[in-house]
Amino acid sequence: MSEPTKAPAASGGSRASTKKELPEHFKSYKHVWVFIEQERGQVHPVSWELMGAGRKLADKLKVELAAVVIGPEGEATQHAATEAFCYGADLAYVVADPLLTDYRNEAYTKALTDVVNTYQPEILLLGATTLGRDLAGSVATTLLTGLTADCTELDVDADGSLAATRPTFGGSLLCTIYTLNFRPQMATVRPRVMPMPDRVEKIAGRIITHPLGMIEDDIVTKVLSFLPDRDSNKSNLAYADVVVAGGLGLGSPENFQLVRQLASVIGAEFGCSRPLVQKGWVSSDRQIGQTGKTIRPKLYIAAGISGAIQHRVGVEGADLIVAINTDKNAPIFDFAHMGIVTDAIRLLPALTEAFRARLSPHSRDRIAS
Ligand SMILES: Cc1cc2nc3c(=O)[nH]c(=O)nc-3n(C[C@H](O)[C@H](O)[C@H](O)COP(=O)(O)OP(=O)(O)OC[C@H]3O[C@@H](n4cnc5c(N)ncnc54)[C@H](O)[C@@H]3O)c2cc1C
């Protein structure tokens, strides 16, 4: 689900034309919640990124920030809840039940909608991961509220409404969407769009447990086995410290190997612009940008990429962007920190050789730290 739901979220039309007093019954909806996504004991880092964004919203609204943790009974779920306090939570809601060991939409939707209906948050944020998108859609439809997907910015208006901003019209415009007539206001945010807040050691605060109230027979989906992902080539683009990417300017799939070679020598992940995926030169999990991955590396090297807005939105969180392009007027030079106007097909092998000569495996690790 990559588009916001049309019905409730957009039903009010533009904010300017519909501004009104919030209905009285909205007042029982208070506080900002973040769904803490964990699978097999691993919390997805997007959850902590959202805690950082949620903290800012909660402070602005002068309300509490709560983490919602759903999972099996046991240490991992408890740990996720206590860890949430180190990322800014004031309290945590926990639904722990053996039926929640594996993610199953029905059980997780029931768990989350039940806590929402009981404790009534004003704002509910989830990561736009595979799990988060699946859960957010079904929770919003069950609660009959609006959901703005893949937000790039979150803020609150003077009246406390969530202003959820996301790209629209193919990424050429940003629109701000309000859920005017329904509560809670729900939004998803993709990994790496929000900065990771610092973790500050803290003692756990209030933890409120809530029962699931389901039996196995209530759940149609059965997990027969769990196969761990053994694809060692799978990209870790979103969380890589160094990324080298290539675009159409490289001219052929053979030349794209130059990107892979440089990435390999400096211990980086490799990525690409969308046309390379469309041409079948590179697999889709390597695409960077609005419809691909958002990255926040310390160093991003872009070779033969023009810097279209849909690519830019996925990379502008990088600390240092180095662009290699033959066209000195290419849009990428508007936001790159360092530009090299030259032929990438000649420069990339020269860079690879220079790094190969200078870097021992030990110093390669240092680049990424
Ligand atoms: C709805 C929608 C979603 C999209 N999502 C994404 C997305 O997620 N990610 C994405 O990347 N794009 C996305 N796009 C596509 C985007 O609009 C651009 O078309 C795309 O980013 C352009 O890719 P490019 O820079 O590789 O190619 P081009 O725009 O063709 O740029 C090639 C560049 O290479 C330079 N060049 C040529 N030869 C050389 C050379 N030898 N050495 C160095 N430089 C050279 C050229 O000067 C040029 O600047 C999306 C578009 C739409 C409509």
pLDDT of 137-152, one tens digit each?
999 999 999 999 999 9
Which residue, by CA, sits nearest to atom 52 of ligand 1? Answer: 170
Can you tell me the distance from the alpha carbon of 78 to that of 238, in angstroms, rounded to the nearest whole number? 27
248 in contact with ligand 1, CB cutoff 6 A: yes
**Cα-to-chain-centroid distance, residue 236:** 13
User: Do the domain assignments include residue 94?
Assistant: yes
pLDDT at 50 over 60: yes
Can you tell me the distance from the alpha carbon of 324 to that of 357, in angstroms, rounded to the nearest whole number? 21
Same domain (yes/no): 198, 241: no
Same domain (yes/no): 27, 167: yes
Q: Which of 192, 237, 284, 310 to mutate to test the pocket of ligand 1 (most atoms within 8 A of CB)?
A: 310
Higher-confidence position of 281 and 13 = 281
167 in contact with ligand 1, CB cutoff 6 A: no
pLDDT at 13 over 70: no
* Structure token digits, residue 56: 């800012």
Same domain (yes/no): 27, 156: yes
305 in contact with ligand 1, CB cutoff 6 A: yes
Residue 246 marked ligand-binding: no
Per residue in 68-97, pLDDT (tens digit) is: 999 999 999 999 999 999 999 999 999 999
Domain with 348, as residue range(s), is: 237-368
User: Do the domain assignments include residue 227?
Assistant: no
**Measuring CA to CA, which residue among 122, 123, 176 is closest to residue 4?**
176
* pLDDT recorded at residue 75: 95
Residue 308 marked ligand-binding: yes
Per residue in 247-299, pLDDT (tens digit) is: 999 999 999 999 999 999 999 999 999 999 999 999 999 999 999 999 999 99
Same domain (yes/no): 202, 259: no
User: CB of 110 within 8 A of CB of 226?
Assistant: no
* pLDDT recorded at residue 367: 53
pTM of the model: 0.85
Q: Which of 2, 273, 333, 335 to mutate to test the pocket of ligand 1 (most atoms within 8 A of CB)?
A: 273
Can you tell me the distance from the alpha carbon of 179 to that of 144, in angstroms, rounded to the nearest whole number? 11
Nearest 5°: phi and psi at 255?
-65, -25
* Structure token digits, residue 364: 């390669």
304 in contact with ligand 1, CB cutoff 6 A: yes
* pLDDT recorded at residue 235: 75
Count of domains in the chain? Answer: 2
Which residue, by CA, sits nearest to atom 18 of ligand 1? Answer: 308
Q: Give the pLDDT band of residue 227 (cuts 50, 70, 90).
A: confident
Identify the weakest region by mean pLDDT among 56-60, 76-80, 328-332, 356-360.
356-360
Same domain (yes/no): 76, 176: yes
* pLDDT recorded at residue 17: 46
Same domain (yes/no): 274, 130: no
Which atom of ligand 1 is least distant from the CA of 247?
Answer: 26
User: Do the domain assignments include residue 248?
Assistant: yes
What's the average model confidence in pLDDT over 56-77?
A: 97
282 in contact with ligand 1, CB cutoff 6 A: no
Per residue in 291-323, pLDDT (tens digit) is: 999 999 999 999 999 999 999 999 999 999 999
pLDDT at 360 over 60: yes
Same domain (yes/no): 134, 166: yes
Residue 38 marked ligand-binding: no
Classify residue 325 as exposed, middle or buried by CB count within 10 Å of its CB (0-12, 13-18, 19+): buried
Same domain (yes/no): 118, 171: yes
Same domain (yes/no): 158, 11: yes
Same domain (yes/no): 22, 150: yes
9: left (phi over 0), alpha (psi -120 to 50) or beta: alpha
User: Do the domain assignments include residue 229?
Assistant: no
pLDDT at 169 over 50: yes
246 in contact with ligand 1, CB cutoff 6 A: no
Can you tell me the distance from the alpha carbon of 290 to that of 204, in angstroms, rounded to the nearest whole number? 37
E strand or H helix that includes residue 349: helix 344-358
pLDDT at 1 over 50: no
Same domain (yes/no): 86, 118: yes
Residue 362 marked ligand-binding: no
331 in contact with ligand 1, CB cutoff 6 A: no
Same domain (yes/no): 283, 191: no
345 in contact with ligand 1, CB cutoff 6 A: yes
306 in contact with ligand 1, CB cutoff 6 A: yes
Coil/strand/helix, residue 194: coil
User: CB of 4 within 8 A of CB of 166?
Assistant: yes
What's the average model confidence in pLDDT over 48-67?
A: 98
